[in-house]
């Protein structure tokens, strides 16, 4: 006497197909959505002071180098000290509640604990000055910060993303006097100031 219907003979094959499809779907989702493109792009941490790049760099047209004064001569871009803020805000909006942490920092001498947005892993080496002196503008890596009320990461900063530029840097080169200009149309409008040979070997960025 047959207990189970003959149609159940197809059940193992159906289960195997469903498991394979589900496994493939889960793998694809993890591979895509947990990649650097999605785990880093859009990162927008809360800052202790609601500083607006849209206002300062965009509407007011302040040059990046006013706050990040060392980017053309140092490997790492400096976080501006409180004194830089107070150069203006000792006279402008001196009673604004939003700027209270700045005034407290100035009075106490304790630095404001800004949260770093563009974070590279410790095993990766990057030199701001080298890229800027080659004609790579701020907008190439940081995006249109002049349109960001709150700064966010706009590029993945992954190894493959960096290598794409190292293999063909010309489309990203602009006149040296325009490196802090946020206009993306200036990219690729100038010849490099010197012969460029960006490293494509491991030792170029992993030292």
**pLDDT tens digits, residue range 1-30?**
667 777 778 888 889 999 999 999 998 888
More reliable by pLDDT, 39 or 155: 155
Q: What is the pLDDT of residue 2?
A: 67
Please state, for a pLDDT cut of 90, what percent of the chain lies above it. 80
Considering the entire predicted model, what is its pTM?
0.80
How confident is the model over 127-143, as pLDDT tens digits? 999 999 999 999 999 99
For residues 160-172, give the mean pLDDT: 95
Full 3-state SS string of the chain: CCCCCHHHHHHHHHHHHHHHHHHHHHHHHHHHHCCHHHHCCCCCCCCCCCCCHHHHHHHCCCCHHHHCCCCCCCCCCCCCCHHHHHHHHCCCCCCCHHHHHHHHHHHHCCCCCCCCCCCCCCCCCCCHHHHHHCCECHHHHHCCHHHCCCCCCCCCCCHHHHHHHHHCCHHHECCHHHCCCCCHHHCCCCCCCCCCCCCCCHHHHCC
Which residue ranges make up each domain of the chain?
A: 9-39, 40-61+70-77+118-199, 80-113
Instruction: Quick: pLDDT tens for 94-114.
Output: 999 999 999 999 999 999 999
Tell me the average pLDDT across 59-64: 96
CB 173 within 8 A of CB 198: no
Q: What is the pLDDT of residue 91?
A: 96
Average pLDDT, the chain: 92
């Amino acid at each position: 006497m047959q207990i189970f219907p003959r149609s159940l003979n197809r059940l193992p094959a159906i289960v195997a197909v469903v498991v394979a499809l589900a496994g493939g779907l889960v793998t694809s989702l993890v591979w895509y959505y947990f990649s650097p493109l999605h785990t880093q792009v859009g990162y927008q941490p809360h800052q202790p002071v609601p500083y607006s790049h849209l206002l300062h760099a965009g509407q007011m047209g302040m040059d990046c180098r006013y706050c990040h004064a060392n980017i053309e001569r140092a490997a790492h871009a400096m976080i501006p000290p409180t004194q830089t803020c107070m150069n203006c805000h000792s006279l402008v909006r001196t009673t604004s509640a939003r700027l209270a942490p700045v005034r407290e920092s100035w009075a106490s001498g304790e630095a404001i604990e800004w949260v770093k947005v563009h974070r590279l892993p410790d095993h990766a080496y990057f030199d701001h000055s080298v890229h800027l002196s080659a004609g790579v503008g701020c907008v190439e890596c940081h995006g249109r910060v002049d349109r960001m009320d709150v700064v966010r990461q706009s590029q993945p900063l992954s190894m493959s993303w960096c290598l794409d530029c190292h293999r063909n840097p010309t489309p990203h080169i602009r006149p040296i006097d325009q490196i802090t200009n946020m206009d993306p149309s200036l990219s690729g409008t100038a010849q490099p100031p010197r012969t460029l040979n960006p490293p494509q070997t491991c030792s170029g960025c992993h030292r």
